Structure 1
């Protein structure tokens, strides 16, 4: 159910905030697990698959959720940095991008990860996700012919 709820990009912002705060509390209490961290990332994503910018939660909310993931060791589980990056990715829109302080913390934490150069590129560049990144970010690959542009 968590994956399904988190995938509803057109939920009103208040519902996303409620779900995101519940997930953050659960992650802090129980530690990170793939489903909760993945769901939090989808709720706080800066670039949505089908929802427009009006459906992205305010950066201040996502910064708090990213902060919860910064508390854990990113070098041990690939899903943690990928999820944080989904919530922190640069969009090119100052109204959606996270503050410089949070971005610096994410960049510093990325340095502890295997494949840190690739993770940094995902965070800072506007390029589309490749098939492997799509599997990590969305839990599956897209059917042939469908492409995520941003």
Structure 2
């Protein structure tokens, strides 16, 4: 199922595996297999339709909502339900409605005000607010004014210490060539200067300064199931 779409018979494969989600993870109390469960659906998510992606989101939304930080039961559940993998999963649900994406991005930024939040949430904000989606559907892109608001929050952070924030800024400010999606030139210029100062990969700077297509290898690096080269998960 990697990456879950774009290959022969993927539609058929997805039809076979979706009933597994409805069955759910068995013996789910304290089961260490939760991480594998979310990773599996993250790999398949690209081929799921909007209703299926919405179902995934509906089931994990209560854990992403900052309100969960005040709910002892939810916080206890998160000790075993692999929250970090949930965050990576929701970032890849590109077919969610725009208003849902905006809500999730704001949730994650709110949670990031606390040092206890997984640093992967920075990366997820970038994926959620990306100017160019992997499946190329422009109508699912978060509005540029929202992406600009998120970007200005990221610009306040130290990118040298955390390249996940730098990568998120690249996704938010990537030049698509579509004026309806692209950020203002001055905002992109600020990103380029800060990327250069943080000694970010040349490809990242290029994506903000030029509208260009990615090779298969570059797409895999940016949108694959693993974090882009140079990024590390911080517990």
Superposed CA offset, 1:92-116 (max 9, x none): 0000001123212212211211246
Structure-1 separation of matches of 2:113 and 2:186:
21
Structure-1 separation of matches of 2:184 and 2:117:
24
Residue 107 of structure 2 aligns with which residue? 22
Asked if 1:114 corresponds to 2:181, the answer is: no
* Alignment check: 8 A CA contact 1:9 1:51 kept: no
The alpha-carbon distance between structure 1 residues 51 and 8, as it changes in their structure 2 partners (threshold 3 A), is farther
Pick 1 or 2: higher relative contact order, CA cutoff 8 A, min separation 6: 1
Please provide the CA RMSD for this pair.
2.4
Q: CA deviation at 1:130?
A: 6.4
The alpha-carbon distance between structure 1 residues 31 and 139, as it changes in their structure 2 partners (threshold 3 A), is farther
* Alignment check: 8 A CA contact 2:192 2:209 kept: no
Residue 90 of structure 1 aligns with which residue? 175
* Alignment check: 8 A CA contact 2:188 2:209 kept: no
3-state SS of paired residue (1:37)? helix
* Alignment check: 8 A CA contact 1:6 1:39 kept: yes
Q: Which moved more, 1:48-57 or 1:132-141?
A: 132-141
* Alignment check: 8 A CA contact 2:134 2:223 kept: no
Residue 133 of structure 2 aligns with which residue? 48
Unaligned runs of 5+ in 2: 1-85, 228-235
- TM-score, scaled relative to structure 1: 0.81
Residue 6 of structure 1 aligns with which residue? 91
Q: What are the equivalent positions in structure 2 for 1:56-95 lying under 5 Å apart?
A: 56-95=141-180
- TM-score, scaled relative to structure 2: 0.54
Structure-1 separation of matches of 2:215 and 2:113:
29
Q: CA deviation at 1:122?
A: 2.3
The alpha-carbon distance between structure 1 residues 37 and 65, as it changes in their structure 2 partners (threshold 3 A), is same
3-state SS of paired residue (2:178)? coil
Unaligned runs of 5+ in 1: 142-150
